Amino acid sequence: MKKRIYLLVIAAMTTVMLVGCKASEEKLAEVNNEIQEIEALKTQAEEVYGNITDSSMRSDLDALNSEEEEAVSADYSKKSDKKIDAEVLPLLEELKTSYTDILGQLNEVYEQETELKEEAQSYVDIQAYIVNNSGLDITSIVIKDNTKETESSNIIGENATLSAGQSLIGAVLNIYTPSTDRVLIITDSSSNTYNYDINELPTEAEGIITITIGSPSDGAVTISE
């Protein structure tokens, strides 16, 4: 009788030990929730990466994806709740934090690239024919955009002169379309500079425009299409 009771006790203890070596349903559900959050972050990161041109974070993202694949394919059912709390969940939390960090960096790059694209779309190239009726030999023609606080390069070209009465064919003016305050600045062969308001420049690249530069005393530029 005593032997039978002893065997029953041993069997009960073995059962308890086996149960203690396996993860509970509640703990497995907790792990599964963590993995689902990680997978969602991975999907978001890949979507953002697919919409940017900067590829500098590709290797970091690939490394995280490898860790994510290992986490998804691992069998946690044979681990005890204690080991899951001590080993598995901290690793999953760390992986989730890493995805959150790289997602933030990717979003920052996306915002920067989107801003640059929108900025680029605000510019248009205008083909121009420039007539020098100023009575001066012009060595430089620059368009200053007071809205953007920028200046173009010398439209004539370096070490070139547009003599009085001559015309410049094939000039390209890169115009910031939202601007409402532009000045054409010419420099003559004596290094004198003169400003002309050119706020009436077209903002759509349709055909070639003619810009006629009058004398400095008139301070007028005629623009025709």
Cα dihedral 48, 52, 58, 60, rounded to 10, equals -50
45 CB neighbour count, 10 Å cutoff: 23
Q: What would the pLDDT profile of 157-198 be if each residue is shown by its tens digit?
A: 999 999 999 999 989 988 888 888 999 999 999 999 999 988
**Exposed, middle or buried: residue 170 (CB in 10 Å: 0-12, 13-18, 19+)?**
exposed
- 83-137 pLDDT per residue, tens: 999 999 999 999 999 999 999 999 999 999 999 998 888 888 889 999 999 999 9
CATH class of the 123-224 domain in this structure: mainly beta
Domain boundaries, given as residue ranges, for the chain: 22-119, 123-224
Mean pLDDT score across all residues of the chain? 87
* DSSP label at residue 12: H
pTM above 0.75, yes or no: no
